[in-house]
Structure 1
Amino acid sequence: MVVVFSQASDHAQAVFQMTLGRWGPYTPFLLSPAGLTLAVWLTRRFFPGAQGSGIPQVIAALHISDQRAISALLSARIAVGKVLLTLLGLGVGASIGREGPCVQLGASIMDVLGRFDTHARPRPHLRRAFVLAGGAAGVAAAFNTPLAGIVFAIEELSHSFETRASGTTLTAVILGGITTLALVGNYTYFGVTSVSLAVGPGWLAVLVCSLAGGLAGGLFSAILVRASRGLPGLAGRLVIGHPFAFAALCGFLLAALGWLSDGTTYGTGYAQARHLVEGSAHVPWDFPFLKLAATVVSYLSGIPGGIFAPSLAVGAGIGKLLAPLVPGAPAAAMVLLGMVGYFAGVVQAPITAAVIVMEMTDNQTMTVPLLATAMLAFAVSRSFCRRPLYGALAERFLIALARRPS
């Protein structure tokens, strides 16, 4: 499912780019508002629970035992809606990723399979193990990073190492990895880079990227956490009273940001990040700022879609922008450190951030600098956003479920 979803995501972005090429750069000013409005309407009408990244829903599901409540967050219906509406968002230029949705997709599939347990007595710990394994397999298959899938399950989803769930998680990740290899072959998400960072003045890059990445990532997370409690002023009243008009406004802002960035802020940001890693990209100097803004706007609109890939693109742009400040460090190393610094600042899961970037670029020589940057960025981010993003958003889902009539 993840492989099919990934290929469909690439096709949706290609269709959007073809539309721009045929009808011109002003097309998103009509297409994006209409598409985001439609996506929000479909989400509210047919697929409640599919909005946003999907990772907070999985975390929330791990903290409840009532199957009815879990079904409001994980189900076959939600999985279908998550895939279709994420594709719709990518098809109209939203700055969203597919990796977060892959976590909810994997967890939903495993939860559905877990309900076929024929034993008379329910086994909550087994259902929890299935959900955890499905989420980990989703990350592993989305990035082709099996180690990151396991670390993500421990550090972000469960926040602990569970002996009873570890075997199930490991098995799911292995089988997911084998399936991915069989279908698309062995590949690295962002290609291969052999850049290294020698001990010496070049290590100033670790400090620079961790400070910038942690600051930007922490502010990004703080905005989304604050927005989850309700936007202030006119924007908040618009969301509550006229959610579809707010979605259309977000679509217009998204188009404006795309026009200002010469089209680089549309979609996942995968192409820009990969080219930056390879040293072949020529993105505007303000790309990371505009991409960050486009991701915030896309998320606030209420459509399904993740923030993994856009965050990695923002981080790569930050590293590229800061490269001239540290002449002793290779520009490619700055890009990697920028990616891990910003990503760690956003998700506040430093080990996951370092492992994902290391595996996605097949570069073990940068392991120590990546880990150091991730840990420092995590500390900086906590100064601006005390609660981890996904945990805070999961809490909002738990509160909403508690308020539902029984």
Structure 2
Amino acid sequence: MDSENSRRQFLQRSVVAAGVAPLLGGPVSAATDLPKTLRIESDGGGFAAYEVTVSGDLRQRDGGDRVSGSRAAGNVGPERGADTFRYSGEITGLVLAGPATVARDGTRVNPSSFPRPAGSLASGDFDAGSGTDRLRIESDGGGVAAYEFAAGGSVRQRDDGDTVAESRAVGHVGPEGGADEFDVDGPITAFALAGPATVSLNGSEVTPSRSSPTVSRGGPKQTVAVRPDTRMLFETAVSDYPGDYVTAEWYVDGERRVGPDLFYNNLGSGSRATFTHRFESAGTHRVRSEVYREGEASREGDDPIDAVEWTVEVGSDGHRAPIVECENPDASILRTAYETTENVEFEVAATDPDGELDRVVWWIPQADDVHAVSSVEGDYDTASVTYDIDPGLPFGAYAIDRRGAISQFRGWRIERK
């Protein structure tokens, strides 16, 4: 699946013109545990659409748009309105078209200062203009698509209803259909489109240049030394990935490891693959991650996009894993009835002897599911979350430090009243 088709399918199922769409990607309560905020606010005067990707987790604080993994798309306007997201990691892609303002952690930012999400059109994707060209932007249906563009000469709209000022145009198509056409003099010098739409120039579809994915160590970022019997989390970060979910194969000391691992890849996303492994024996070990295009694999004879490796030194003087302890509720066994909505607040304390706490993963062992992820830091920190308990589903947490070392699990038993 190429990046443009993947992105278009995502936008068609993600950008909603009206009504409230269900939130994907995890419980709403997890949003409160993500440390950073991104807000897209309408300036009024028309629809604005956006698409954003991050290297970590992404949740919407309000409702009405859709989140899939680490990618979100939606629209605001036409008069007012705002969408707010919480996320972890970094913004890896952002495109905004139409009258709106973007703020990160309360500070206004310029969308053009971020890279475009994989599959986004830019001015370089258009052939050089010669004379007058016909530009057409047609809705694919399923949501609002907003656009902005500029040309080297004049721009004239063949229909009406959008904003044209000399060499620039701003407008939208959709949510169900429709198209805008322009006569454009000179080359396209700037272009932004967000939402499900197809762009053509002189009758030929314009497609994004296929960028080369970049594979790097998301964490740990360096060689690590740990003590025997330490479980580690490895994360492979990928930018410009041609798919919705990163496909990776993992090897330890040259032997392929086929899951499931501790978190069943539930910490992975559209830009990150994860793997856990417990190192029981002392010595030097090597971990390798090979990233493949979506739908491809080594068993099919396909070549990986790229690979990254870690060296892990295991010995008695190595790094110690963090510790997590249950703080609240005090009781180790909780009792509840089936089919209730009894939200209980849980709190744990995390300690790291080397002062490098990174996160707490709230885990439902019986369901093999991540309920939420909380950020922690320093050598001691606490984390809390609410959870609708259910008999037979124990609940608890792991602490992870910045070197990828994972604590022992601590949690509560949930029994029937």
- TM-score normalised by the shorter chain: which range applies? under 0.3
Higher relative contact order (CA 8 A, sep 6+): 1
**Greater strand share, structure number:** 2
TM-score normalized by the length of structure 2: 0.23
TM-score normalized by the length of structure 1: 0.24
**Greater helix share, structure number:** 1
Larger-gyration structure (1/2):
2
